[in-house]
Amino acid sequence: MKQKFRNNTALLFILLITFFPGIAWTQQQRPQGPPPVPNEKQIDKIVNDLAEKLALTSEQSETISKLYIAHFKEVKEKQEKDREAREANHQAMEKLRKDFEKDVKAVLTKDQQKQFDDFVKEHEKNTKNPRQGRGKR
């Protein structure tokens, strides 16, 4: 029984070692955020491919091209607004944090303020989530 358990454990260990690096590498290769917005040259290629595949008339191609250009212009504007909103929110949260820490320190002695700073740093290090927070990027 023990021998069978050891064999299964060893096999599982070998499989994990073999496949885990591949999984980790695949996850690192995924791009972050939305895909880039195509430029006009790329849109022209998309529309040309579509025109060929669907046998579009020149009028249809022209109309669809305008629709694609307008659509991706809207997408780009929305992405920029969202990015600006995230940055503004991040700055607002930083200000809240700094104001809070200032208020807490106002109640503390000089020695306690230093200990508080150390506590905050240690707490951040222990609770830092790589997908959020104030960690280095």
Residue 66 pLDDT > 70: yes
Whether this model's pTM surpasses 0.75: no
Q: Report the chain's mean pLDDT, rounded to a whole number.
A: 82
Alpha-helical (H) ranges within the chain are: 2-29, 40-54, 58-107, 110-127
Q: What angle do CA 61, 62, 64 make, to 5 degrees?
A: 65
* Separation between Cα atoms, residue 39 and residue 31, nearest integer Å: 19
Q: What is the pLDDT of residues 74-90, one digit of tens each?
A: 999 999 999 999 999 99
Q: What is the pLDDT of residues 22-58, one digit of tens each?
A: 555 555 566 677 789 999 999 999 999 999 999 999 9
Q: What is the mean pLDDT of residues 101-123?
A: 94
Residue 137's pLDDT band, with cuts at 50, 70 and 90, is very low
* Separation between Cα atoms, residue 123 and residue 135, nearest integer Å: 12
